[in-house]
Copies of this chain bind each other. A is one copy, B any other.
Amino acid sequence: MPPPDSPHPVVVHIHTHMYPPSYIKLLSSRTTVPYIHQPTETPDADPRLIILASDDDPSRPKSSRGRPVDSTYSSFDQKRAFMRRHGISCSVVSLANPWLDFLDPATALQTAQEINNDLDAACAENNSVASASHDGLKLYAFGCLPLSAPAKDIVSEIHRLKSLRHVKGVIMGTTGLGNGLDDPALDDVYSALASTATLVFLHPHYGLPDSAFGGPDVVAKSGHVLPLALGFPLETTIAVSRMYLSGVFDRHPQLQFLLAHSGGTLPFLAGRIESCVAHEREFIANGGHRQGPQRSIWDVLHTNIYLDAVIYGQPGLKAAIEAAGSVDRVMFGTDHPFFPPLGDDKEAKWLSVESNKGAIDDCLPEDEAAKKKILGGNAIRVLGLDL
């Protein structure tokens, strides 16, 4: 950890995933998506993680479906090694998608509690020995919610998480209780999140239907590029737009969301959304009262939304900072352990990390204070990290 007067800023990555042992065990116990499969033909090979229905192609042998899941996914030692290599002092780890979306309602609460306790304990153990054994590297976590459980169980877990000292918010996908984040049935959950000042890290998983890209054959030609590069950001944009259009931020003005991948495309499209709302005949003033969202999308961006800086380039990051209204609302992330280098040099710095760090330098070449905020200061302030 750099001393307070160090010229090197404290670097916190708030977008970095872990599959703690209890989650690996859960996925390994399953045989339908999402699941982890240990190929019996090749017992020495890494297990395979199959998280998308499209990855579970029955025409392929199970041993080649999905992606290899090696120890970088579950090992805190590997997380620390990655942090050291990239000059990162603190990780706020989160369960990777699809979190607990798939759980049987009857077991969801207990599973969430176990995983959240595991995450908190692992961070606690790390941090208690941090200064001595781990070069002072610190770990915190976003918890997960039992969204398939009854709303009262979700609410109770939101409250319980406040007692876990190393859990600094929750990660959530875009389906909510199954019908999206504009579902009125989420109002109790949103009230609980707002009243406990729990930050929600919103992250995509489901992407867009293949038909949006022209069908599965079109998608297959370029591997995962279309679903990951375009489907993921659009999923986030659609989810937040639906929240906005349905008035969630009008009803819950205290909600705090951190959007993955710099908001998907929200910073770029916010002006177009605002214009389409202003020109929408469905929303025309009715007895003096405009229908539709009551606040401007810019107000929501400046009040309810934080953005990560996982956008891999200066044009996008500049738009993110502008749309957020301030450098105070943008936070560095890496998406580790996804997007590893494909070359043979296992000690190389990751292009995916360096491009996100480089974008911050390119955007704010002269402004060390602003860079410091995005690289770590904002996360420390917003999440209340003890660094």
* In the complex with contacts A265-B269, A270-B313, A272-B312, A226-B212 CB distance below 8 A: no
**Looking at the complex, which one of B280, B314, B342 makes contact with A279 (CB distance below 8 Å)?**
B342
Decide if A355 is an interface residue (CB 8 Å cutoff): yes
Min Cβ gap A244→B in Å is: 9
* Count of chain A residues near B, Cβ 8 A: 68
Decide if A369 is an interface residue (CB 8 Å cutoff): no
Decide if A275 is an interface residue (CB 8 Å cutoff): yes
Decide if A387 is an interface residue (CB 8 Å cutoff): no
Interface locus among A10-18, A101-109, A229-237: A229-237
Residues of B within 8 A of A283 (CB): 222-223
Interface locus among A84-92, A120-128, A317-325: A317-325
The reply to whether B233 and A272 contact each other, CB–CB distance below 8 Å, is yes
**Looking at the complex, which one of B180, B221, B279 makes contact with A214 (CB distance below 8 Å)?**
B180
Cβ proximity bits A197-219 to B, threshold 8 Å, 1 near / 0 not: 00000000000110111100010
- Complex: chain B residue closest to A338, CB-CB: B279
The reply to whether B225 and A271 contact each other, CB–CB distance below 8 Å, is no
* In the complex with contacts A218-B180, A242-B214, A271-B355, A280-B224 CB distance below 8 A: yes
Decide if A315 is an interface residue (CB 8 Å cutoff): yes
The reply to whether B311 and A315 contact each other, CB–CB distance below 8 Å, is no
Decide if A337 is an interface residue (CB 8 Å cutoff): no
| Complex Cα gap A98–B305 (Å) | 37
| Complex Cα gap A342–B283 (Å) | 10
| Complex Cα gap A237–B231 (Å) | 11
The reply to whether B352 and A279 contact each other, CB–CB distance below 8 Å, is yes
Copies of this chain, tallied across the complex:
2
* In the complex with contacts A213-B238, A355-B275, A267-B268 CB distance below 8 A: yes
Cβ proximity bits A295-313 to B, threshold 8 Å, 1 near / 0 not: 0001000000000000111
**Looking at the complex, which one of B209, B225, B271, B277 makes contact with A209 (CB distance below 8 Å)?**
B209
* In the complex with contacts A246-B221, A284-B342, A267-B316 CB distance below 8 A: yes
Residues of B within 8 A of A315 (CB): 267-268, 270-271, 318-320, 322-323
| Complex Cα gap A314–B228 (Å) | 27
Residues of B within 8 A of A228 (CB): 276
Chain A contacts to B: CB under 8 angstroms:
179-180, 182, 208-209, 211-214, 218, 221-226, 228-230, 233-234, 237-238, 241-242, 245-246, 261-262, 265, 267-284, 292, 298, 311-316, 318-320, 322-323, 339-340, 342, 351-352, 355, 359
Q: List 17 A-B contacts (CB under 8 A).
A: A213-B242, A223-B280, A225-B241, A225-B273, A226-B245, A229-B241, A229-B276, A230-B241, A265-B269, A268-B268, A268-B315, A270-B313, A270-B315, A271-B315, A272-B312, A275-B355, A278-B342
